[in-house]
Structure 1
Amino acid sequence: MATGRNGSARARFHLGDDLALLRQVLLLNPFRDASKWEAVAGVLKEVTGKVFSARSVRDRCDLLLAQYSANDRANLRK
């Protein structure tokens, strides 16, 4: 298993984590205020019991949005 910088096991995102993440992004809109990514990470810790950094939460959200956008473009071409 991969480890983080401090030697602890890195938390991995699962479907439920992704859904909780996207719900919090809708509620808090951290794209307007970047400091809210910390709040999103804190809520995810409470909801999932896993520790995610603000950076990993932001990166995961960006990845999910990019995947959705790519899939949406593919569907438009059909």
Structure 2
Amino acid sequence: MAFSADTGSDASSLDSLFEEDEDSVGGEPLLLAQESPESQRAGSEAAASDMGAGGIETIPGQAGSSPARTRSRFNTKSDKALLAEVLSTPPYETERGAVKGVWASITERVNQSLQTNFSTRACRDRTGLLLRQYEAQKKANESASGTSEVHTSMDDVLERILLLRDAASGQK
């Protein structure tokens, strides 16, 4: 459709295009990316049936792929277990080729102890994220004056892991 300088006829044809495509619920038009209340209820019921106990979610398999698998989400309990395993078997002190195996063993122990299904990459990435967040918080606390900081046992573990990582990177 070509637009001309006469906007009156083109504007009315555009309006008619949008009117034909509009869905409405109770007289109110649906906006783009808005679902009808019926589909929202069906989606929330399906999501509730997919979620198991402890933050484990069942993901249906794709066509031509493996059957349904479970996905676990990190929470405070899993973070503490992960950091404890990283502290007991520091992956930063191993040789370059063996790091993947160390992370795999850490992941296996975390998954066995918590009955979760984390991937090796998820554990490695989560540890990196927790360390970056701790470093940022530590820097903010040092630059702020007169504020009292709350110190937790998780902060102690993160600090020890940071020291191990920094010592290992200093040796390489």
TM value normalised by structure 2: 0.42
Letter in 2 for 1:50: T
CA distance in 1 between partners of 2:107 and 2:70 (Å): 17
More strand by share: 2
Percent of aligned pairs sharing the same letter: 32
Q: Separation in 2 of the partners of 1:54 and 1:23? A: 16
Q: CA RMSD in A?
A: 1.9
Q: Which residue of 2 aligns with 1:72?
A: 138
Distance in 1, matches of 2:136 and 2:60, equals 30
Shift of 1:32: 2.3
Q: Which residue matches 1:57?
A: 123
Alpha-carbon distance in 1 for matches of 2:129, 2:70 = 21
> What is the DSSP-based 3-state SS (H/G/I as helix, E as strand, rest coil) of the residue aligned with 1:50?
coil
Question: Displacement of 1:67 after TM fit?
Answer: 0.3
Q: How much does 1:46 deviate? A: 1.2
Distance in 1 (CA, whole Å) between partners of 2:93 and 2:71 is 28
For structure 1, the residue ranges without an aligned partner over 5 or more in a row are none
> Aligned partners of 2:103 and 2:60: how far apart in 1?
19
Alpha-carbon distance in 1 for matches of 2:114, 2:140 = 32
Letter in 1 for 2:78: D
| Whole-angstrom CA distance in 2 between matches of 1:65 and 1:4 | 32
Q: Under a length normalisation based on structure 1, what TM-score does the superposition of the two structures give?
A: 0.88
Higher relative contact order (CA 8 A, sep 6+): 1
Structure 2: give runs of 5+ residues left out of the alignment: 1-46, 48-56, 145-172
Count of residue correspondences: 78
Cα displacement (A) at 1:68: 0.2
Separation in 1, partners of 2:134, 2:102: 23
